[in-house]
Amino acid sequence: MLRVLMFLALLGLAIFALVDCIRTNNDDVKHLPKPVWMMVIVFAWVLGPIAWLLLGKRRAFPAARGNGGGGVRRGGGWVAPDDNPDFLRTLNEEQRREENDRDKKLFESWEEDLRRREEDLRRGNDDDGSGPPPGTGSGSPGGDSPKN
């Protein structure tokens, strides 16, 4: 029974190492090309998986990365939203977009109010018959009448 258990443990290790080798990105494979590592794991099924686990794959340990272990994981695994720079960037973009929309609406309402007031002033001056508002005359500083 113990022999069967040892055989199954080695077979499980070989299967795990083979699947790990297949799923590993080509940039993370060290020392040998990926197909060669797969052949080593299959044909040297006792030493091959151990060699793969110890030497074949570049592994990132939190202490060795130099960034304190936080942030985006090297393997592209799940990262908490407050540690994910892409998520935080989208939040900032959404906030800016909302602020821009709010500012645009406010600006448009101010422009509309200004147009309405200018129109009211024009209508008010035309009804009086008093002419253009002060400061919009012919441009001469002394008024419209020539000096003798």
> From CA 57, how far away is CA 19, in angstroms rounded?
13
Rounded to 10 deg, the angle between the 2-23 and 34-43 helix axes is: 170
What's the Cα-to-Cα distance from 120 to each of 38, 106, 112, rounded to whole Å?
84, 21, 12
Among residues 8, 53, 59, 17, the alpha carbon closest in space to that of 38 is found at 17
Both tokens assigned to 93: 């973009």
* Residue 13 located in a structural domain: yes
Residue 87 is part of which domain span?
80-128
The predicted model gives 5-16 an average pLDDT of 91
Residue 65 in this model has a pLDDT that exceeds 50: no
Total tally of structural domains belonging to the chain: 2
pTM above 0.75, yes or no: no
* Residue 71 located in a structural domain: no
* Residue 147 located in a structural domain: no
Residue 105 in this model has a pLDDT that exceeds 50: yes
Residue that is written with structure tokens 């645009």 in the block:
104
* Residue 70 located in a structural domain: no
* Residue 103 located in a structural domain: yes
